[in-house]
Amino acid sequence: MQSNLDDVTVINNEEARRFEARVDGHLALIAYRRFPGKIVFDHTEVPAPLEGKGLAARLTRAALDYARANHLRVVSLCPFVSSYIRRHPEVQDLVSPDDLQRVLARPAGAANK
């Protein structure tokens, strides 16, 4: 297994509408939909052999960095992305006030996948 996930490259596969990272032949991803002025994160997938190594957080950070760089409002329908937003106040400005209330109101244990 690739020992240093810090060296993993996350790409935005716009055709497939997902952020991707390949590690040891496995594909991890965050699926999204784009709308004018916003991006909706639908779900995150990390293969079992890669779980618990910070790869989902790396994907999420790259996706949120993309949203910021492109002046996109973030809508998270993905429990993992929502959990990440709750834990990282520095990205909460990307979410509309109404959506942020919803994200912050979810129980902490509800989004660990």
What is the per-residue DSSP string for 5-68? GGGPPPEEETTTTEEEEEETTEEEEEEEEEETTEEEEEEEE--GGGTTSSHHHHHHHHHHHHHH
Q: 33 to each of 11, 77, 78, 94, how far by Cα in Å?
A: 15, 11, 12, 16
Tell me, yes or no, if the pTM score tops 0.85.
Answer: yes
Domain 5-110 has CATH 3.40.630.30: yes
Helix (H, G, I), strand (E, B) or coil at 74: strand
pLDDT value of residue 14 = 97
Q: Locate the domains of the chain by residue range.
A: 5-110
The DSSP H or E segment spanning 76 is strand 73-76
CB within 8 A of 98, min separation 6: which ones? none
Average pLDDT per block of 10 residues along the chain, 113 residues long: 72 98 95 97 96 95 98 96 96 93 73 45
CA geometry: angle 39, 85, 40, nearest 5 deg: 15
Res 104: pLDDT: 87
